Amino acid sequence: MLGEGIIKGLAETARNFFGSYLTKERLTTVQYPEERLPQNEAFRNFPFLVFDGADSEAGLRCVSCHICEKECPPKCIFIEKSKDKKPDAVGKPQFYPVVFDIDVSVCMSCQICVEVCPFDAIKMDVEYDYPTEDRFAALLFNKHQLAKSNDYYHQIHPTEASAVDAALAAERESAAAKAAATAAAAAKTAAAKVSAESRAVKASPDSAVESITEPPLSGGDGL
């Protein structure tokens, strides 16, 4: 019969239409600005800089190594390295970024920067509400806008943040153990040296401490 196929199709449409009153499955629309779906934990949008502790300046994990700047595919990161050094979380003097800018109008949220960062200093944010009337300055995020606390990181990506914290703690521990071992070994050699040499010569006790110059974290290779 001509028109049979059309009627069958319309029956299907009707089933969906009336079904939308009965089952949640057929009514999938979410009234966006008022209703919002819960965010996936893995969701990523733009990068931010993680800092430990309370001070967003002193606690910044970034050591200004320029790896993310070089690896960023659309080149949206701009870093200026400091002249002086400040102590990082382990207490080792490190450079820090004087300027760290991300142009989020260029950023394509690929998270390559997160993958290549050897210091776990840059992570992906989940914030997506950035409406603005200014096309340029308002979308160029500086160091202060980008710095967010480790607690915030735990809030948005709990699993990932815990893993990162555990890895960092392990690294810190091994670095501390290594430093202790080196210090002990150096003290031993110094002691041996002292005893071997004639007592008339006085050994400097400070010479042992200076040998700890190895970086605690592996990374920054080749660049």
Candidates 111, 145, 149, 182; binder of other proteins (CB under 8 A) is 111
**Can you tell me the distance from the alpha carbon of 50 to that of 147, in angstroms, rounded to the nearest whole number?**
6
Residue 19, CA atoms < 13 Å, CB-side half-sphere: 11
By CB under 8 A, tell whether 112 contacts other proteins. yes
Considering only 14, 18, 55, 73, the residue that binds other proteins (CB under 8 A) is 73
Instruction: Quote the distance between the C-alpha of residue 101 and its chain's center.
Output: 15
The residue within the footprint of other proteins, chosen from 109, 132, 142, 174 (CB under 8 A), is: 109
Helix (H) or strand (E) holding 152: helix 150-156
Q: Under a CB-based contact definition with an 8 Å cutoff, are residues 214 and 170 in contact? A: no
With the C-alpha atoms ordered 22, 39, 77, 113, is the resulting torsion angle positive or negative? Answer: negative
Beta bridge mates, 93:
87
Return the number of the residue (12 or 55) whose C-beta is nearest other proteins. 12
Give, in degrees to the nearest 5, the angle at Cα 214 between 209 and 92: 75
Q: Which is nearer to other proteins, 44 or 81 (CB)?
A: 44
| 172 lies in the binding site for other proteins (CB under 8 A) | no
Find the binder of other proteins among 21, 24, 28, 206 (CB under 8 A).
28
> Of the candidates 4, 34, 129, 133, which one interacts with other proteins according to CB under 8 A?
4
User: By CB under 8 A, is residue 127 in contact with other proteins?
Assistant: no
Indicate which single residue of 89, 90, 116, 139 sits in contact with other proteins (rule: CB under 8 A): 116
Coil, helix or strand at residue 191 = helix
Minimum Å gap between C-beta 116 and other proteins is 5
C-alpha span between 157 and 193 (Å, rounded) = 53
Closest listed residue to residue 117, CA positions, set 63, 154, 73, 45: 63
Smaller CB separation from other proteins, 15 or 193: 15
Per-residue x/- track, 36-55, other proteins (CB under 8 A):
----xxxxx-----------
Q: Which residues bind other proteins (CB under 8 A)?
A: 2-6, 8-9, 12-13, 16, 28, 40-44, 67, 71-73, 108-112, 115-116, 124, 221-222
